[in-house]
Amino acid sequence: MQRLELAPGLIWWPGHLDRPAQERLLAAVERALEEAPLFSPRMPRTGQPFSVRMSNFGPLGWVADEAGYRYQPFHPDTRRSWPDFPADVLEAWHALTGWTAPPEAGLINWYGPEARMGLHQDRDEQDFTAPVLSLSLGDTAVFRFGGDTRRAPTRSIRLASGDALLIGGDSRLAFHGIDRILPGTSTLMGQPGRFNLTLRRVTPP
């Protein structure tokens, strides 16, 4: 399998999940969404909804609304606990991060054809020692990444269905975002759109 170090600590495995593994993971995501439906996160300051819709797996889920960006153990609308991590997700985490502790949060992002995500840092965790692992399913996305400041130069890559990306080490706080997705580039779902899972540790080791 190809392993590309895009920057120190930013590692890309194109096609890490083969088609059967992508289908299994998609089925697990769809099952989780029956229990914990996609919600629309909102910008804390303006209350404006994100174009990306979200849900979570695992003991903690990332949410955003007028009260801020945070992790919490329950769904903001149903108030129920988040669904457990699928075994395949835990396996990918252990294999690619080398981390013995399991992830605590598994954010599920859903991008419809028009959705995008502005440049940001993942910094709502209490500790940045552990990496963030991202898994992509469905349509290809234009993923942009830069340095630790918003002004640092950026580059973009195309993340396709089955790709894994580790955001860790010296790149743990690198700015990143999704410029757009390329609808119709994957046959996985039979409809345009993309799921991205990001797995994280939230609390200190």
What residue ranges bind ligand SIN (CB under 6 A)?
109, 117, 134, 141, 143, 159, 176, 178, 196, 198
Q: Which does 178 bind (CB under 5 to 8 A by kind): ligand SIN, Fe ion, none?
A: ligand SIN
Nearest one of 181, 205, 184 to 195, comparing CA atoms: 181
Alpha-carbon gap, residue 13 to 50, rounded angstroms: 28
Alpha-carbon gap, residue 107 to 125, rounded angstroms: 13
Nearer to Fe ion, 81 or 177 (CB): 177
- Find out whether 200 and 157 touch, Cβ atoms under 8 Å: no
Report, in Å, the least distance between residue 117 CB and ligand SIN.
6
Alpha-carbon gap, residue 120 to 123, rounded angstroms: 9
Residue nearest to ligand SIN (CB): 196
Q: Which does 134 bind (CB under 5 to 8 A by kind): Fe ion, ligand SIN, none?
A: ligand SIN
Report, in Å, the least distance between residue 24 CB and ligand SIN.
20
Any contact of residue 122 with Fe ion (CB under 5 A)?
Answer: yes
Any contact of residue 125 with Fe ion (CB under 5 A)?
Answer: no
Any contact of residue 139 with Fe ion (CB under 5 A)?
Answer: no
Q: Which two tokens stand for residue 177?
A: 């975002």
CA atoms within 13 A on the CB side of 97: 27
